[in-house]
Structure 1
Amino acid sequence: MSISRAARALAFFLALAAGLPAAAQAPAAASQRIVLPADVTPDHYDLDITPDASALTFKGKVQIDLTVHAATREIVLNAADLVIDHAALSGEAGQPSIRYDEKVQTASFGFSHPLKPGHYALSLDYHGRIFQQASGLFALDYQAGGASKRALFTQFENSDARRFLPCWDEPGRKASFTVTATVPKDQMAVSNMPVAEAKAVDDKLQTVRFAETPKMSSYLLFFGLGDFERIHRNVGGVDVGVIVKRGDTANAGFALDAAAEILPYYNDYFGKAFPLPKLDLIAGPGSSQFFGAMENWGAIFYFERDLLIDPKVSTEQDLQGVYVTVAHEMAHQWFGDLVTMAWWNDLWLNEGFASWMENKVTDHFHPNWKLWLQAKSGTESAMQTDARDGSHPIITPINDVLQAGGAFDEITYEKGAAVIRMMEAYVGESAFRDGVRRYMADHAYGNTVTDDLWREIDQGGGPRPITEIAHDFTLHAGVPLLRQGEASCQAGKTSQALAQGRYGIDDSTRGERVWHVPVIARTLDSAAPGHGVIAGTAGGRIEVPGCGPVVLNAGQTGYFRTLYSPAGVAALTQRFSELSADDQLGLLDDTRALGFGGLEPITDYLNLTVRLDSRSDPVVWARLAHTLNGLDRLYAGTPGQARFRSFARGVLARGLARIGWDRQPDESFNVAIMRSAVIGALGDMGDPAVTAEAHRRFDQFLYDPTSLDASARRTVLAIVGRQASAADWERLHQLAKTAKSELERTEYYSLLGAADDPALAAKALDLALSGEPPATTAPDIIGAVSDRHPGLALDFTSAHWAKVSELLEPDSRPSFAPHLVTGEPDRGLADRLNAFADRNIPEDARQEVRKAVSSILYQAQVRDARLPEVDRWIATGR
C-alpha cells in the first residue's frame, strides 16, 4: 500500500521544519495477540456476489472449503457489517447457531457435537453494505458527460475483507479464491484473475466467473465494477493492462509503459517470474486521506492522481510520482503477495522493502531523476519521528489486527527503506540480491518473519553477516548519533575517531542506547571510501584513504545522524561545492536537525545555505526552498519575519536567476521541480516581483489556457490561490466547476482552500460540505485551509464532525483533525485539539493526537529558542 501524497507531504514538512518532542505513550495494547483459533483453517473460497450499486448494498454466497485440525464445537471466522442469512456445514444436519462479536469482528458457528478432524465445506448466504469511503466494497461517484456515474472497488488492507465476505481475515491464513459476480452487461467486472467465463442472465445482467487464484491472504482479494476501458500489452507472457473509467485511456499510457518496463526487471531481480497470467493497474476517481494505492495481487488499485498523467495538469513531479507508485505496488506482487508477513508486526517486510525497491528500480531506468537523492526527504521524516520518545521499532508489537492501521507510518515505510538500503550497501549489491532470490524461492506462497530474510542473506557466506546489525535497527527505536573526534593522517591514510550516542530532541531520547553502526567515509582528497562498524559506548576508529576533510556517511546510505566537530564542519563548509549532491544534502540535513535540537549552533546550517551556487543540484535547491519556507512559517507574526524574508528571498533569488521562469530545451528533468519549489517559496514569502509575474501569467492563462505548461500552471495557480482576491477566488471556483477532468477539478477545488484571506478560507470550508465538490475532495479542501488557517480548519471540523467523519475512511478519522494543526507553533491549538479529541476520538486511538500536540509544543519551543539565533546571525551580516 502506498501512503497518500497528503500524508507524505505532511511528514516531509515536519521533517524540514523541525523534529517532534517527547509524546505521551499510547495506552498499553493487549498483552496477548488476538487471533482466530488455529483448530480450523480455510483452503478455498468459492464466492458469488451480486452488487446493487444504486442501493449501496450487495448479496453474497460463499462456500468455504476448510480443514478441521482438532475436534471443536465451533468454527470462528471474521465478519463485520455483514448479516449471515443462512449457514450450513457439509455432513451436518440442520443449521448451526450463529453468534456475532462486534468488538473483535467475528462470527462463530456453533454445533451440537464436536466436529471431527477432516475436510468440510461451510456454505453461507449473507448480505452487506457498499460504503462510500475506501473500506470493504465501496463506491466512487464521478461526473461523465454531464451525468453522475458510480464505480465500485474494494479495499481490504489491513482488515476489511471481513466486510466483503466472512473469512479468516489474517495474513497467515492463506487460501485460494474463485470469484463469481452477477453484474450489468454494459459494465466491466475486474478481479485478481482473468475472466474464465461470462454468461447472460437476462437482457441486462450477466454472470462473470474469474479463474481461481493461487493461495493468498484475504487482504489481497479485489473486485471492481464500472463503465471501464482497458489498454494492455503482452509483457513476457503476462497480459499487463491499465483500467480506467471510459474516456480516460489517453491518460493511461505512461503508467502502462512504466509497468511494462518494470516487470522484466522485477522478474530478474527476484529470480522468480510474476506468477499470474495478468496484471491490471486500476484507476479510481477521487482520493483518500489514508492511502494512494493498494497492491491487490494481479489487480492493483490506484486513485487516479497516483496513476494517470494528464498533460494539461500533470507536472514532472506528478510523472515521477506515478512511476514510483507503480514501482512500489508492483514490488509488492513479490514482497507481500507471493511472500507475505505472518503477522502485522512484520508489516515492514512489505512496505519497507517496496519503498526501497521503488527507488532502486526508478533509479535504474531514470537515473536523471535522482530518486535516491529525493528519497532523503523520506528518511528525514522518519528520523524526526524516530528521534522522539514514543517512536516505535520497525518491528513493533501488534496484538490486535485492528491496531495494525497505526503501523502504516514513516517508521515502517521510510525507516524500513533506509535500513534496507544500509544493509545492501554493507553486504554488497550482488550478495544482497542473491539473498532476496533465495528468500523468494524458499518461501513462495507462504508466510515469513523478518529473521527469515536475514538468514537467507547471511547464507551467502559473505564476509559481513548482517543479523546483529539488522536487529539493532529493526528491534529498537531511535536514531544513532555519531560524533566526530580527532583525526590523524599518516602514509596517505586518515584514522578518524568516532563516538556513538543517540540522536534525540529532548533529554529522554539522548540516553545510552548504542548500535552496531556500519559507516562509510571518505576524504575530500580521495574518492576511495573507508568502511567500518562502530559499536559500543567506547566508539572506535575508521581508516579512510587519503587526507583532508572527512565526509562521514559518504553517499548517505547510513541511517544515523552525524555531529561533526567544529573544525570538521568548518572544513566541509569551506569546500561545500566539492561535496557530491548526496553529501551536500546530508550535511544540510544533519546541521539543520542538530541545530534545531540544540546539539550544535543553528548557524552551521545557515552558513551552508549561502554556499549553494549554480553547480548545486536542483534537488538540493528544492530542499533548501522548502526548508526556508518552513522557517518563514515559524516566523509568522514575529518582529523578525521581515528581516528573515529579506535574507531568504535573497538566497532563493540566486536560484531563480539560474533557471528563470520558463523551461529551457536542454534543462535537466529536475530543474522543473526546483523551479516550482523556488518560485513557490518566493511567492509564499511575498516577493513582489514573483507575485506580480504570477498574476500576469494568471491573467494570460485565463485568456489562453495553453500559455502555461503544466508545471508553470500549478506554480502560478498556487501563488494566485494563496494571495487571491474575492474576484480571483471566484475565477478559480468557476474553473473548478467547468473542469473537464477529475484530476483538474480536484486541483482547482483544493486551491480554493489555500487563500490567505480568512474570509475566503471560511467560504471554502462552507463549500467543502455543500455537496458541490466530489465527496472525496471535500477533506482535501479542509486540509488546504489548514495550511494557512489551522485554527479555523480545526474549529470547522469540530463543529461539523458528524458530516466530516462520514467523508473519511475509518482509518483516517483519528488522524484527520490532528493533521490539520500538526507543525504549528501555537500552543493554544494543542488545547483545542485535546478538547476535540475528548469529544470525538476514543482514548486508544489518539496516537496522532499526541504526536500533533507534542509537535505544536516543540514548534513553539523552536520558535522561542532558535529563531533568536537566526536573528543574530542575520543581523551581524553572517
Structure 2
Amino acid sequence: MRVFVAALLSLLIAVPAVAQDVPIGKLPSGTTPTAYRLDLTVDPEQERFTGHAEIDVTLDKDTPGLFLHGRGLKVTRAFARVGNRTVAATYKEVNTTLGVVRLDFASALPAGKAVLLFDYDAPFGEGPAGLYRVKVGDIHYAWTQFQSIDARAAFPGFDEPGFKTPFTVSLTTPANLVAVSNGEETGTTRQGRLVRHRYATTEKLPTYLVAFAVGQFDVVSGQVPPTPQRAKPLPLRILATKGQGPKLDYALKETPRIVELLEHYFDSPFPFSKLDQIASPVMGGAMENAGAVIYDDSLLVLGGDAPVRRKQGFGMVVAHELAHQWFGDLVTPAWWDDIWLNESFANWMGYFIADKWRPELNIQVGAIEEALAAMNTDALAVGRPIRQPITDSGEIDSAFDAITYGKGGQVVDMIANYMGEDAFRKGVHIHMKRYARGNATGEDFFRSLSEGAGDPRLVQAMRGFVEQQGVPVVAVRPSGESASVSQKRYAALGAEGVPATQWTIPFCATRGDTKSCTLVDKPAMTAAARGSGPVMPNAGGRGYYRFDLPEAEWTALIARGPHLPAGEALAATDSLWASFRAGGASPAQLVQAAKTLAAHSDSNVAIDGGERLSDLRARGLISGDALKAYPALMASIYVPRLKEIGFDPRRGSQSGDDPDRQAYRNALVALAADDARDPATRAALEKAAKAFMAGDDAALDASFLRTALRVHVEEGGLAAAQALYARATASQDAVFRSAALGAVAASGNVDTARWLLGKVDDAALRSTERVAIVGAMAGPATTQPLALDWLKTNLDRLVKDSNLTTIGQVMSIPGRLCSVEDADTVRTLLQPKVKAVGRGQLTLDRAVERVRACGQLKAARGAEINAAILAR
C-alpha cells in the first residue's frame, strides 16, 4: 500500500480516500484533533453565516484522505498545512443525513502533525439545532444547540464526545449586538459596521459543548462569591432577549447558591472561568455548554412572584445543568452509549441540590414522580436499557428519553441511598479526580463507586439496572417480622414475549418507623420487614421497582396512605395502578385510593389519584353513563377541598401561602375546572380571563393562567380562540405564549382546530410551537382525527428543525389513541415518514405499543372501570 501511495505523491490531483464504507457511527481511527480555531461572522438578520475553521490534527500514518463531519456547509476552500507546505483538498459531504464528509488531499499527508483549514458559509437553522436564529418581535437572534450531532452544521470537525480539545473562538457581529461564547471575552476590534469579538481559549471540550449566542440581549451581571473551593469570585451573567431584563433578577440572585452547593458536593471549584446563563425562546429544555448554558425562556425568565411550579423548574434544571459542568463537561463520556451516565447523574443531582437550595419548594419529590413516569415507558416491550450500544449516529437521539433521565436518576438515587451519602460521594470524588478534563465510560464509574462503597455487590446491582431493560415487580407476602418476596419483570395485560429477567434489588421496606433493607438477588427469598403495622415495600419511594401485595395488605396500606411520607405514598399509588394494568387490583381500589389519599398533606400525593383518573377519562377508558357520572365523582373528592382552602384568581391572592399550599390550590383548580366541570370554579376563571384579555393584568394570577385561558376558549369558541391566538403571537412572554397557544390547540372545538391547522405555517409561530400545537390538538377525542390526518402528510415539516427534545414530542403525538386498530393505523401511516427522516423509530414504536396496550386494557377491564365510576 505504501508503494501505491508513494507513486501518487507527485500527482496534482486529489487522492481518493482510503477504500472504506462511509461511517455512520464513530469515525475511523487514525486522525486525532488536538485544537480548533473558529472565526465566524454571525449577523442574525442575514439568512446565512460565514466561517473560517482551523483544526490541528495528529495523523497516525500517511493519509491520502480522511472522514470528518460537516452538514449543509458550503465549503469554498479546503486545504491542509504541513509545516510550511500547503496541500489542496477536496471536500465532499458523502452522507447528507448524518453530515459525514470525505476530505481527499492532492497529495497524501505524512504521519504526524497537520492543520486542516476551511472557508465556508451555511444557512442558519430555523429550529433549535445547530447555529439557529429566531425572530423575537422585530429582531433576529442566534443561538447554538449542538448536542448531539449538530455542531457539524456550524463548522467542520470531528463531532464526537471522545475528542476533547481546546477551542479558540472569535465572532464578528454587527456592532450593536452582544456576542457570547464559552470563554471570557478578551477584546474587540472594530471593522466598519462590524465588531470582532475574541474569547479566551477554552479548557478541553468536545464539539457538542461549544456554544455561541448573538443578539440584542438584555444582560444582568453579578458574581458568585468565593467559596472554600474557589478563591476568586466567579463572573456571572444572565441574558435574555430585549425587554426581558426586569425578569432576570431572580435567576441572578438564586444561581450563586446553587453553584456554591455544587462546589461543596464535588469539593472542587466551578470548572470554568465564568458562567453565562442564556435564555432562548425555542430551546424546549436546557443545554450544559461549558460556561455558557442555554435554557428555554420559561426556565430562566421569571420574577419573584412566579408560580411555584416555575420556581421548582428553575431550581431543578439549573442544578441539573450546572452539575453537568463537572459531570459531563469536566469529565465527558467516551461515546454516546454512555451519555446515560451524564444525564442520569445530573438528573439525580438536579433534585438533590435543588432540594437543599430551597427546601420549602418541595422539589425532591419530583424525582420520584419522574421515575414513576419512566416506569411506564420502561415497562413496554419495545424499548432499551439505560446503557444502549450506539453504532449509528441517527440512533443517538433515542438515548435522551425518560429511561436515561427518570429511570437513570432513580437508579442513581437508589444506589446512593443504599450505600449511604458519604460512601457514594466518596466514589464520585474518586471518579472526578481520576478523569478530570478527560473521558470516562460507565465501567469507569462503576469501578469508582466500588472503591467508594467497598461492596462490589452494589456495583453489580447498579449494573443490572443499567444494562437490562424493564421494571422489576416484587411480590411481597408479609409474615411476622419478615416477608416472602419474589421478583419478575413487570408486564401489563396483553404483553407478549416478556423475557425472564433478574436483578439484584436494594429492597427496603418500612413498618411504622422501622426500616429494613435486603439485597434481593434471587427469584424468590425472604427479606427483612421489621416493625409493626402495614408493610410499605419501598422505603421513601426511592427504589426503582414496583411491588404487589395481597388484597388485605393493599387495603391496610391504602388506609394508612395519608400518613405515609410523600415518596412512599406516590410509590404505593403507582404500584397499585400497575397491579390494575396487569390484571390485579380492581378499579374500585383505585377510586378508594384517590379518595383516601386526597387527605394527604403533600400536594403531589393529594392530587395524584385524581390526575390518574383524569388520564383514564382522556384516553377514552371511561364511557357511556360512567362518563356522564365522572364529573360528579371528581367533584365529590376535590371541590370540597378547593372550597376549604379558598380560591381567588386575582394576581397575588396566594402570596401569603406556603409554596406547597399554592401548588395544591393550582392543581385543585385544574381538576375542578376540567374534570369536575365545577360551575363556580369555571365561572370565576372565565370572568378573570375576560378581564385579563380586556387589559386588567391584575385580574389573573400567573398560577391560574393556563387553566383560565383553557376555560375561556372552551366557553368562547372560535372567536375567543382567534383573539387569544392574535395576542399570543404578538407577545414575547414565553409563558403566556405557551399557555395561550396551548389553550387554543386543546379546546376540543372542531371549528377552532380546522382554523388553527391553517395557521401552522404562520411566520409568527416558532418551530417548537408548531409541534406543541399539533400535539395538544391530538389530545381531545373531537379534534384528534384532524391532528393525526394533518400529521401523516406533514410530519417531515415538524421534524425538519427539531432538536433532541422536539423529535420525541413529534413522534409521541399519536400515542394518545386507544385501540388495537389505531395502533396498526399509526404504524402504517407514520412508518414511511420515520424512515424518510431517519430519526424517531424507537419513539414511534413506543407510541404504537402504548396505543395497542390501551386498547387491550379497555377491552379487558373497561366494564369494571365504568362500574367503579358509577358506584362512586
Tell me if both proteins adopt one fold, taking TM over 0.5 as the criterion.
yes
Quote the Cα distance in structure 2 between the aligned partners of 1:71 and 1:59.
31
| Secondary structure at the counterpart of residue 460 of structure 1 | helix
Deviation at residue 395 of structure 1 after TM alignment: 0.5
Residue identity matched to 2:364: W
Partner residue in 1 for 2:240: 244
**508, 528, 552: which one aligns with 1:520:** 508
| Secondary structure at the counterpart of residue 276 of structure 1 | coil
Quote the Cα distance in structure 2 between the aligned partners of 1:842 and 1:586.
38
Partner residue in 2 for 1:795: 789
Quote the Cα distance in structure 2 between the aligned partners of 1:816 and 1:212.
37
Q: 1:777-808 deviations in whole A, cap 9, x for unaligned?
A: 333222222222222112223345565455x4
The answer to whether the Cα contact below 8 Å between 1:632 and 1:645 also exists between their aligned partners in 2 is: no
Residue identity matched to 1:577: P
The answer to whether the Cα contact below 8 Å between 1:626 and 1:677 also exists between their aligned partners in 2 is: no
Quote the Cα distance in structure 2 between the aligned partners of 1:178 and 1:441.
26
**260, 269, 282: which one aligns with 2:256:** 260
Deviation at residue 866 of structure 1 after TM alignment: 2.2
Deviation at residue 369 of structure 1 after TM alignment: 2.2
Deviation at residue 768 of structure 1 after TM alignment: 3.0
**Cα–Cα, structure 1 residues 797 and 320, in superposed 2: closer, same or farther, change >3 Å?**
same
Quote the Cα distance in structure 1 between the aligned partners of 2:612 and 2:316.
24
In the TM superposition, 1:259-338 aligns within 5 A as 259-285=255-281, 287-288=282-283, 291-310=284-303, 314-338=306-330
Partner residue in 2 for 1:536: 522
**Cα–Cα, structure 1 residues 706 and 324, in superposed 2: closer, same or farther, change >3 Å?**
same
Residue identity matched to 1:572: L
In the TM superposition, 1:333-344 aligns within 5 A as 333-344=325-336
Partner residue in 1 for 2:631: 645
Partner residue in 2 for 1:141: 135
Partner residue in 1 for 2:36: 45
**Cα–Cα, structure 1 residues 659 and 318, in superposed 2: closer, same or farther, change >3 Å?**
same
Q: 1:696-726 deviations in whole A, cap 9, x for unaligned?
A: 3334434532022211333322222334334
Partner residue in 2 for 1:576: 561
Percent identity of equivalent pairs: 28
Deviation at residue 211 of structure 1 after TM alignment: 0.5
Residue identity matched to 1:297: A
Partner residue in 2 for 1:233: 222
Partner residue in 1 for 2:101: 107
Deviation at residue 231 of structure 1 after TM alignment: 1.1
Partner residue in 2 for 1:201: 191
Deviation at residue 556 of structure 1 after TM alignment: 0.8
Deviation at residue 52 of structure 1 after TM alignment: 4.1
Does 2:484 align with 1:497? yes
The answer to whether the Cα contact below 8 Å between 2:593 and 2:609 also exists between their aligned partners in 1 is: no
Q: 1:130-161 deviations in whole A, cap 9, x for unaligned?
A: 11111211101111xxxx11001111100111
Residue identity matched to 1:848: T
Deviation at residue 776 of structure 1 after TM alignment: 4.1
| Secondary structure at the counterpart of residue 149 of structure 2 | coil
Partner residue in 2 for 1:691: 682
The answer to whether the Cα contact below 8 Å between 2:705 and 2:739 also exists between their aligned partners in 1 is: no
**Cα–Cα, structure 1 residues 522 and 49, in superposed 2: closer, same or farther, change >3 Å?**
same
Q: 1:653-677 deviations in whole A, cap 9, x for unaligned?
A: 2332332213556533122222222
Does 2:454 align with 1:462? yes
The answer to whether the Cα contact below 8 Å between 2:369 and 2:570 also exists between their aligned partners in 1 is: no
Partner residue in 2 for 1:58: 49
Under a length normalisation based on structure 2, what TM-score does the superposition of the two structures give? 0.91
Deviation at residue 831 of structure 1 after TM alignment: 4.6
Q: 1:546-573 deviations in whole A, cap 9, x for unaligned?
A: 2332111110110001101222212212
The answer to whether the Cα contact below 8 Å between 1:753 and 1:765 also exists between their aligned partners in 2 is: no
**438, 441, 446: which one aligns with 2:438:** 446
Identify the range of structure 1 (366-375 vs 730-739) with the bigger mean alpha-carbon deviation.
Answer: 730-739
| Secondary structure at the counterpart of residue 610 of structure 1 | helix
Q: 1:719-768 deviations in whole A, cap 9, x for unaligned?
A: 22334334433442453355463442343233221212211222222233
| Secondary structure at the counterpart of residue 96 of structure 1 | strand
Partner residue in 2 for 1:854: 849
The answer to whether the Cα contact below 8 Å between 1:272 and 1:441 also exists between their aligned partners in 2 is: no
Identify the range of structure 1 (346-355 vs 498-507) with the bigger mean alpha-carbon deviation.
Answer: 498-507
Deviation at residue 623 of structure 1 after TM alignment: 2.0
In the TM superposition, 1:472-491 aligns within 5 A as 472-488=464-480
Partner residue in 2 for 1:362: 354
Partner residue in 1 for 2:140: 150
Quote the Cα distance in structure 2 between the aligned partners of 1:754 and 1:56.
34
**Cα–Cα, structure 1 residues 396 and 225, in superposed 2: closer, same or farther, change >3 Å?**
same
Partner residue in 2 for 1:7: none
Partner residue in 2 for 1:27: none
Q: 1:147-191 deviations in whole A, cap 9, x for unaligned?
A: x11001111100111111111100001111000121111111100
Q: 1:421-457 deviations in whole A, cap 9, x for unaligned?
A: 0010111001101111111111011111112112112
Under a length normalisation based on structure 1, what TM-score does the superposition of the two structures give? 0.90
Quote the Cα distance in structure 2 between the aligned partners of 1:470 and 1:178.
39
Q: 1:202-248 deviations in whole A, cap 9, x for unaligned?
A: 2x111111110011101000111101122121213210111112221
Identify the range of structure 1 (852-861 vs 435-444) with the bigger mean alpha-carbon deviation.
Answer: 852-861
Deviation at residue 837 of structure 1 after TM alignment: 1.6
Residue identity matched to 1:546: G
Identify the range of structure 1 (427-436 vs 824-833) with the bigger mean alpha-carbon deviation.
Answer: 824-833
Q: 1:99-135 deviations in whole A, cap 9, x for unaligned?
A: 4312553323334554333222222222222111112
Does 2:667 align with 1:667? no
| Secondary structure at the counterpart of residue 639 of structure 1 | helix
**Cα–Cα, structure 1 residues 728 and 57, in superposed 2: closer, same or farther, change >3 Å?**
closer
Quote the Cα distance in structure 1 between the aligned partners of 2:127 and 2:655.
43
Deviation at residue 87 of structure 1 after TM alignment: 2.4
Partner residue in 2 for 1:590: 575
Partner residue in 2 for 1:5: none
Q: 1:489-510 deviations in whole A, cap 9, x for unaligned?
A: xxxxx12221111111144365
| Secondary structure at the counterpart of residue 790 of structure 2 | helix
Gaps of 5+ in 2: 1-20, 227-232
| Secondary structure at the counterpart of residue 165 of structure 1 | coil
**Cα–Cα, structure 1 residues 55 and 481, in superposed 2: closer, same or farther, change >3 Å?**
same
Quote the Cα distance in structure 1 between the aligned partners of 2:173 and 2:654.
51
The answer to whether the Cα contact below 8 Å between 1:242 and 1:252 also exists between their aligned partners in 2 is: yes
Residue identity matched to 2:509: A
Q: 1:282-315 deviations in whole A, cap 9, x for unaligned?
A: 1122x25xx4111111101112112111578x42
Greater RCO (Cα-Cα under 8 Å, separation 6 or more): 1
- What's the RMSD between the two structures over aligned residues? 2.4
Partner residue in 2 for 1:491: none
**Cα–Cα, structure 1 residues 123 and 615, in superposed 2: closer, same or farther, change >3 Å?**
closer
Quote the Cα distance in structure 2 between the aligned partners of 1:361 and 1:598.
39
Q: 1:343-398 deviations in whole A, cap 9, x for unaligned?
A: 11111111111111110011112222222222222112211111121221100110
Q: 1:622-670 deviations in whole A, cap 9, x for unaligned?
A: 3223212112222465332112332222112233233221355653312
Quote the Cα distance in structure 2 between the aligned partners of 1:815 and 1:192.
28
Quote the Cα distance in structure 2 between the aligned partners of 1:113 and 1:728.
68
| Secondary structure at the counterpart of residue 629 of structure 1 | helix
Quote the Cα distance in structure 2 between the aligned partners of 1:193 and 1:56.
26
**Cα–Cα, structure 1 residues 264 and 816, in superposed 2: closer, same or farther, change >3 Å?**
closer
Quote the Cα distance in structure 2 between the aligned partners of 1:476 and 1:868.
35
| Secondary structure at the counterpart of residue 403 of structure 1 | helix
Partner residue in 1 for 2:364: 372
Identify the range of structure 1 (357-366 vs 780-789) with the bigger mean alpha-carbon deviation.
Answer: 780-789
Residue identity matched to 1:858: A
Identify the range of structure 1 (837-846 vs 509-518) with the bigger mean alpha-carbon deviation.
Answer: 837-846
The answer to whether the Cα contact below 8 Å between 2:383 and 2:842 also exists between their aligned partners in 1 is: no
The answer to whether the Cα contact below 8 Å between 1:814 and 1:841 also exists between their aligned partners in 2 is: no
The answer to whether the Cα contact below 8 Å between 2:654 and 2:662 also exists between their aligned partners in 1 is: no
Residue identity matched to 1:469: A
